[in-house]
């Protein structure tokens, strides 16, 4: 009776990912070449590349962190924000990303996290750290508003900051003890 199974070949579980990565690089290069050969008003190939980069970061992050929805919400908030700012810059900066897109993204993220906390009564301690982190990035536009002239349309940013603050207060009142416990375990020395 043999002690070990015969391993015929090395299993390559990442073959699909490698193929997709090859396709992504191919598409990006094709777009850049076409964009250079047929000159237009702006370098649209960057839009495609930004979209591909966004998709890859999302896919890889989701594969690695397929458990915690709150971490995905947090990650998406950052990624979509970067993507929209990138699009705004690529097509000729007009400021709509900071004025409107960012506050809307932040508000949606905060409301989503609030809903997650309410619906999943037993798991909310897992979301605590991401709630605090999402709040911290939510107040960044407000900081920009107070310190720079980058944001021209103030109302959306003020509203987003208000929603983020109310959500955090609501979350703390709902599961403050859990947020504290989660922070203790995550920050233990």
Partner 1 sequence: MSKENWRRLDNSAKIFPIISSKKYSSVFRLSAVLKEKVEPEILKQAVNEVLKYYASFKVKLKKGMFWYYYEENNKELIIEEENNYPCKYIDPNTNNDYLFKITYFNNKINLDIFHSLTDGNSGVYLLREIVYTYIEKKYPEVFDEKIREARKIKYDTEDDYIKNYNKKLHSNSSSRKAYILKGKKLPLATIGVIHENINLKELKIVAKEKEVTVTQYLTATLIYAIYTANYIKHKGSRPIKICIPVDLKKYFRSETINNFFSYITVETNMKQVNEFEDILRFVKGDFEKRLSKNEILKTMSANVRLGNNLIIKMIPLFLKSIIVRLSYLEIRKYTTTTFSNIGRIGIIGEYKKYIEKFMILIAPEPVEKIKCSACSFDNELVFTFTSTLENTDIEKTFYKQIKKQGIEISLEGNGVHDIIS
C-alpha span between 63 and 67 (Å, rounded): 9
Binding flag, residue 16, partner 1 (CB under 8 A): no
CB of 68 to partner 1, least distance (A): 10
Q: Please report, in angstroms and rounded to a whole number, the separation of the first and last CA atoms in the chain.
A: 50
Binding flag, residue 177, partner 1 (CB under 8 A): no
| # binding residues, partner 1 (CB under 8 A) | 20
C-alpha span between 187 and 38 (Å, rounded): 53
Judge whether 145 and 159 are in contact, CB under 8 Å: no
Binding flag, residue 122, partner 1 (CB under 8 A): no
Binding flag, residue 180, partner 1 (CB under 8 A): no
C-alpha span between 175 and 165 (Å, rounded): 15
Q: Which is nearer to partner 1, 31 or 175 (CB)?
A: 175
C-alpha span between 104 and 106 (Å, rounded): 5
Judge whether 107 and 158 are in contact, CB under 8 Å: no
Kindly write out the interface string for residues 56-95 of this chain, putting x where it contacts partner 1 by CB under 8 A and - elsewhere: -------xx-xx----------------------------
Binding flag, residue 5, partner 1 (CB under 8 A): yes
Q: Which is nearer to partner 1, 3 or 146 (CB)?
A: 3
Q: Which is nearer to partner 1, 30 or 66 (CB)?
A: 66
φ, ψ of residue 129 in degrees (nearest 5): -65, -40
Contact set with partner 1 (CB under 8 A)? 1-7, 10-11, 63-64, 66-67, 181, 184-189
């Amino acid at each position: 009776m043999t002690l070990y199974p015969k391993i015929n070949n090395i299993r390559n579980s990442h073959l699909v990912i490698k193929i997709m990565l090859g396709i992504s690089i191919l598409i990006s290069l094709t777009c850049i070449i076409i964009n250079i050969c047929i000159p237009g008003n702006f370098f649209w190939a960057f839009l495609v590349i930004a979209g591909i980069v966004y998709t890859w970061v999302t896919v890889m992050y989701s594969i690695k962190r397929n458990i915690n929805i709150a971490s995905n919400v947090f990650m998406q908030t950052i990624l979509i924000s970067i993507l929209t700012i990138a699009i705004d810059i690529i097509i000729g900066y007009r400021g709509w990303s900071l004025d409107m897109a960012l506050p809307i993204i932040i508000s949606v993220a905060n409301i989503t996290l609030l809903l997650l906390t309410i619906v999943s009564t037993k798991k909310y301690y897992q979301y605590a750290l991401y709630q605090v982190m999402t709040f911290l990035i939510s107040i960044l536009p407000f900081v920009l508003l107070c310190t720079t002239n980058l944001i021209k349309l103030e109302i959306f940013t003020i509203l987003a900051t208000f929603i983020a603050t109310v959500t955090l207060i609501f979350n703390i009142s709902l599961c403050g003890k859990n947020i504290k416990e989660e922070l203790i375990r995550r920050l233990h020395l």
